Amino acid sequence: MDNETSGNQEQNEAHAIPVQTKNSQVWLLKALLVLAAIYTLFLAKSLLIPLFFSAFIALLLSPLVTLAKKYYVPRTLSAALLMALLVTPFTFLGLELAEPAERWMHSLPEIAGQITEEIEEISETLKAGAENTPPEPKQESSSFFSWFNDDEKPEPNPEDDSSVTEQIKQNSIEMGIAMLGSAPLLIAQMFACLILIFFLLVFGPGLFGVFIRDFPVVTDRQRTVVLVGQIQSELSAYIVTISMINFLLGVSTAVIFTYLGIDDAMLWGALVALMNFVPYLGGLVSCSILLVAGAVQYGLTSTAFLPPVAFFCLNVLESQLITPSVLGKSMRLNPLLIILWIAIMGWLWGVVGALLAVPILMSVKIILENLGVFPHWIKLLESK
């Protein structure tokens, strides 16, 4: 009997080893697939960023083109009119902001030098005050270890402060050159996005109809059409709502800054509206930039905190009251997961990735909800 029991145990262990090996191979394969996907997203970012941005804009405008089609307006004409209505306001806004933005770009080295000089003056004042205070009397130590003490202290080298100043100026110049160097690529991507949005509006529905009717992978065509329509309506509502909230935040910031007498109020309003697409981190970055702007306009005084404090009050009102009440519970995401996702997308795609991070995450959540798959991941995204 004992021999039979030991034989069964050995047989079970022999079966368990291949199962464990198979499970480990499956996990290794999944890890390799995740790494391959991350590498692909990073390598193809110059292609994927315009695609995602164009898809979001086309998703917003597609219902309007479909509505115009019901009134016998050709898709080409309605798409061209919508593109004109979309581009014209942003073009005028860009022309209005070009002059102050260019002035700030050219003055970055001078601003860095002014701030550094004022910081140096404050530090020299503090040093002079410390030198005027009488030094404490030294107590002579007659212990054995006092023979090894070095009473001579190295005096501060004034060249160190100047080297720090020069380094700050050099870094600001390099940052300005890098931003100017990336401008042609950004303009090319914007034109590519406009062309892609136009073709998605005109020919996208036809391609989708052919895919639904003729591809064998679609088994339940009616359910697929209804599901895609629900996803499109929910995504459109989310993107429109967020865009309107950020637009109103930018307008409110510009109006309040104009009332407070802060220079280039329209530029800062456009900046905070754009940065607010990045939750939490966008507000912090905007406050930091506005603090520098306040220091440049008012100097290193308490008045320099006026622009960031005014925006901080608006941002708290928007993020804690307006946005949660408008979007509702179904559109909420865990703040920690948002920060982690923004960090990942910023690492992969840079600043544009950080701006697109939350719309992409929200899109994934809505798609999973409508497909009825991975409910545990949905609960994780909505956890508080």
Domain count, the chain: 1
Domain-located, residue 134: no
Spatial contact of 97 and 250, defined as CB atoms under 8 Å apart: no
Range of the domain at 61: 45-125+163-218
Domain-located, residue 214: yes
Domain-located, residue 168: yes
Question: Distance between terminal CA atoms of the chain?
Answer: 57
Instruction: Tell me the pLDDT of the chain (384 aa) as tens digits.
Output: 555 555 555 555 555 556 667 777 788 888 888 889 888 888 888 888 888 888 888 888 888 888 888 888 899 999 999 989 888 888 888 887 877 777 777 766 666 666 666 666 666 777 666 666 555 554 544 444 444 444 444 555 555 545 555 555 555 555 555 555 556 667 777 888 889 999 999 988 888 888 887 777 667 777 777 777 777 787 788 888 888 999 999 999 999 999 989 888 898 999 999 888 888 888 898 998 898 888 888 877 888 899 999 999 999 998 888 887 887 665 678 888 888 988 898 888 888 888 888 888 888 888 888 778 888 888 888 877
Domain-located, residue 309: no
Domain-located, residue 155: no
Cα separation, 367 vs 371, in Å, equals 6
Per-residue 3-state assignment (H helix, E strand, C coil) for 37-105: HHHHHHHCHHHHHHHHHHHHHHHHHHHHHHHHHHCCCCHHHHHHHHHHHHHHHHHHHHHHHHHHHHHHH
Domain-located, residue 203: yes
Cα separation, 384 vs 380, in Å, equals 9
Domain-located, residue 64: yes
- Residues composing the chain: 384
Cα separation, 258 vs 250, in Å, equals 12
Q: Which residue has the tokens 């009119």?
A: 81
Domain-located, residue 333: no
